[in-house]
Structure 1
Amino acid sequence: MVNSVPAIVIAAPASGSGKTTVATGLMGALRAAGQRVAPFKVGPDYIDPGYHALAAGLPGRNLDAVMVGRERIGPLFRHGSAGCDIAVVEGVMGLFDGKIDMNGAGAASAEGSTASVASMLGAPVVLVVDARGHSQSLAAVLHGFSTFDSSVRIGGVILNRVGSPRHEEVLRQACDRVGIPVLGSLPRMSELAVPSRHLGLITALEHGSRASEAVDAMATLVAEHIDLAAVRSLAASTVSSEPWDAAEEVGETAGRAPVVAIAGGPAFTFGYAEHVELLRASGADVAVFDPLTDGLPPGTSGVILPGGFPEEHAEQLASNSVLLADIRRAASIGVPIHAECAGLLYLTRSLDGHAMAGVVDADARFGSALTLGYRDAVALHDSVLFEAGARVTGHEFHRTVLLESAGGQRDSAWGWQNPSRTADKRVVREGFVQGGVHASYLHTHPAGNPKSVGRFVDACARTELADA
């Protein structure tokens, strides 16, 4: 077997330490130095991988052990890093922070943490430390992180937001005291900040040329202040599994090539690279369209409306009346439609007062509370994606709420235990299953549920045959 591509995991003691700047900058700087870089992000994040893709010139991919299962992390890493010289993996939250009370019960869990993924990959961790307020006590912090879990190796530290040459000198002495090499020291800067909104950074696609400029600035900063040769020398991986293969995951296909239209553009940016690969392996002809300006592609036999920020583009989405009519008609004749989060909002009657497709009997509005967390969900009804009773682990991440009609009847897509920490353990019923429509707030990772992709494409092929 070909040896696994060497990897480096960029982690931090806590969120907000500068992981994204360092990881994205490293990807860009290594690429500029002639390396083919495989970009990865730990966890369910959709936004950081967009910046990673700009920096590396390859699709940003996720390594989420909660969503896809531990057994797929190595294979997905091998698949996403094939043909590359080095992999850079950006962590999530603090190094040892993982899935916490997935459904509101039990103790905190390290499952899915950056540390657990680094251990699965056999890759060293580079700890990015926000140096503001740190001096000699940094030695104690590093000692704790380096000895907390023997399966995780802290291979180096990058000092971020360093205030002065004297400050750097003191910090380096602290690192020397615990024997952890300093790979670089970044000064305090503000011009690299990428604008954020209610769910995190503004996506790279929406940010346009400014995103490219920010990524270039990150790469320049890293190239000037981080020892790239030391990073390359430190990188390693012990993954021995075979690469993930979409065709093996979906098995035999029906031999048809239905056109599956996937919404893209600035309003629908949340998706996993493996989704398209699984669709194609299942026999689909994938066509991307922008709901801000386009109609459905000719011959469409199935529609996928992924996550994103439709609330930021509601007026323009509402103005594309041709597409809204196309979607309504497709739903009315049973064309399979898979809608996640933003896609669900697009199917409602209205979004913040702007007319949407009206497929789902509800109105959506922007809310004040963030709904966030993993969900252990059960499919409540047969659909174009799942059989009733199928179990998945998904993720909610939204600030919008649905206002349904009083007394309205619907088949719910999912059921899960109330994630609240209170004693209320009722089953939450969420989402819509009606005809060929499966619409829900729940994000799922197709690589964790590959058979659902094949099931969807089969339903699209049957629709094509019925309409022929």
Structure 2
Amino acid sequence: MTAGLVISAPASGVGKTTLTLALARAFSDRGLKVQCFKNGPDYIDPAFHVAATVRASVNLDSWAMDRPTIKQLVGRGADADLVLAEGSMGLFDGVAVRGVSGTGATADIAEMMGWPVLLVIDPSGQAQTAAAVAAGLRDFRAGVRVAGVVINRVGSSRHEQLLRQAFADSGIAVFGALPRHAEISMPRRHLGLVQAEEQAHIGCLIGEAARLVNVHVDLDAVLQAASHGTPQPSVHGLNVDPPGQRIALARDGAFSFVYPHILDRWRDAGAEIATFSPLSDEGPDESSDVCWLPGGYPELHAGRLAANARFRSALRAFADTRAVHGECGGYMVLGAAMTDSKGARHEMVGLLGLETSFAERRMHLGYRLAELSAPIPGHRPGARLRGHEFHYSTIIAQPDPPLAVVRDATGAIVEETGSRRRHATGTFFHLIAEER
């Protein structure tokens, strides 16, 4: 069974992604097969994992996925030498109400899979207290084992000495300490990290981070700490059915937010995927029986999408006879209009009446449970879909019949119900799995 580690931290912004990428590349450079995973609903980090390992990375989510699904997805690392699962937020951070198999916390995955945790600790503005924080994380939940720490952003040799002594006194292994002046980090954007494909020098950045950990981290000790206790993968499949036999999938810089496990499930079920680029003024493949527009950053390209008459007319013609579904950004593009951050209004495809605006940013973030009032491709009326919503748009108008009753993780009803009109449907949430 493959050895595994979970890379986590007390909070966001301390360097989990950077360390995960650096370790993945460093071990890959040693000739090891490294399989990465990402805890929670995140599109960006798995793409960076691919850049570091040249292996597909998928999301594991205890709120939206049952244990058989998670174990089945983990099975893709069966031929790897090492699994690195990158956490989200702080180690124990999840939602208040338990979902299918947990709260979405990184700790759920660590306990479920038997992987020990490597903590990234940022001691900025403190010294010995950093060890107290790590000790608290170590002792907080039975079943979650902390293997040790990597200290990130150390201010000086004296600072490092104080930290190492405090961790030693607490019985916590220190695998390495990264100096503050040598920090390597990934650039950020308003919805999180910039997409990997947008970074021309991403390989160089990851390579430099790998060189840094080679100097400052005991890689042999990290590898030895990885646990071989990973359970055998489940034979059960993921609860997501393909929306059609041949799927026209929008795929470019404006439409890139689709979970890798969703595409894998579609292909495993025998579906074909034909990609097209709305930004290049392309329409959906005519031989397809359904069209799917995922989320992404269409608001950054609203003017260009509005001007691409061939794309808009081809999509309208496709929707005359076949189903078209949009998620988040894709849903907004299926709508009547979108106002960008500068206040300019752009006409969209018009298959739905939805109007959205980014002129006044308002964050919509969190898990969603939707009970469908009408079908969407691949899912029947009454189906309970678990997903995640993350965007900054404001609804100006949503005049079409609601697609679903949508609730947040606490069970409260939200206004982002989605819409339906003839063959077109759309949701603000991104599908993760159907509850069955």
Could you tell me the TM-score, scaled by structure 2's length?
Answer: 0.91
Could you tell me how far apart the structure 1 residues matched to 2:426 and 2:268 are? 23
Identity %: 36
Number of residue-to-residue matches in the alignment: 428
Change (3 A) 1:215 1:316: farther
For 1:435, which of 409, 412, 422 is the aligned residue? 422
1:149 aligned partner? 141
Aligned with 2:404 (options 405, 414, 432): 414
SS in 1 for 2:7: strand
8 Å contact from structure 1 (residues 41, 48) kept in 2: yes
8 A Cα contact 1:384 1:436, kept in partner: no
Cα shift at 1:173: 0.5
Residue 9 of structure 2, aligned match among 8, 12, 17? 12
Determine the C-alpha separation between the residues in 2 that align with 1:346 and 1:265.
Answer: 14
Offset of 1:384 from its aligned partner? 2.8
Partner of 1:323: 311
Q: Which residue does the alignment assign to 1:166? A: 158
Q: 1:70 aligns with which of 67, 72, 93?
A: 67
**Distance 1:53-1:117 versus aligned 2 partners, 3 A rule:** same
Q: Deviations over 1:352-388 (max 9, x none)?
A: 2222211111222114210001122211223333222
Q: 1:262 to 1:417 in 2, by over 3 A?
A: closer
Amino acid at match of 2:379: F
Residue matched to 2:342: none
Q: Distance in 2 between matches of 1:307 and 1:76?
A: 23
1:300 aligns with 2:288: yes
Alignment check: 8 A CA contact 2:283 2:315 kept: no
TM-score (normalizing by structure 1): 0.85
- Give the conservation status (yes or no) of the 8 Å contact 1:74–1:239: no
Deviation at residue 319 of structure 1 after TM alignment: 2.8
Q: Deviations over 1:182-221 (max 9, x none)?
A: 111111147633332221111112x231333322222222
> Counterparts in 2 of 1:32-431, with a 5 A limit?
32-78=29-75, 80-100=76-96, 111-189=103-181, 192-205=184-197, 207-243=198-234, 258-293=245-280, 294-333=282-321, 335-352=322-339, 353-366=345-358, 367-404=360-397, 408=399, 410-417=400-407, 428=415, 430-431=417-418
CA-CA distance at 1:417 after TM superposition = 4.2
Tell whether the 8 Å contact from 2:402 to 2:418 is kept in structure 1 after alignment.
yes
Please state how far the C-alpha of 1:152 moved relative to its aligned partner: 0.7
In structure 2, distance between residues paired with 1:61 and 1:419: 22
* Counterpart contact for 1:416–1:427, Cα < 8 Å: yes
> Cα distance, 1:264 vs. partner?
1.3
For residue 300 of structure 2, what is the amino acid of its counterpart? E
In 1, the alpha carbon distance for the partners of 2:308 and 2:218 equals 50
Q: Is residue 418–residue 428 contact of structure 1 (8 Å, CA) maintained in 2?
A: no
Q: Which moved more, 1:114-123 or 1:230-239?
A: 230-239
Contact 2:119–2:148 (CA under 8 A) maintained in structure 1: yes
Q: What is the CA distance between 1:177 and its match in structure 2?
A: 0.6
Q: Offset of 1:82 from its aligned partner?
A: 2.8
Amino acid at match of 1:96: F
Is residue 21–residue 52 contact of structure 2 (8 Å, CA) maintained in 1? Answer: yes
For residues 409 and 232 of structure 2, the distance between their equivalents in structure 1, rounded to whole angstroms, comes to: 35
| Structure 1 residue 134, shift from structure 2 partner | 2.2
Residue of 444, 449, 468 corresponding to 2:434? 449
How big is the shift at 1:42? 0.4
Query: Does structure 2 retain, via aligned residues, the 8 Å contact 1:265–1:292?
Result: yes
Shift of 1:110: 6.7
Rounded to whole Å, the distance in 2 between the matches of 1:427 and 1:308 is 21
Q: 1:433 to 1:230 in 2, by over 3 A?
A: same
Letter in 1 for 2:79: G
**Matched residue SS, 2:64:** helix
**Separation in 2, partners of 1:309, 1:223:** 36
Other structure's SS at 2:135 match: helix
In 1, Cα distance between equivalents of 2:318 and 2:373: 23
CA contact (8 A) 1:102 1:376 kept: no
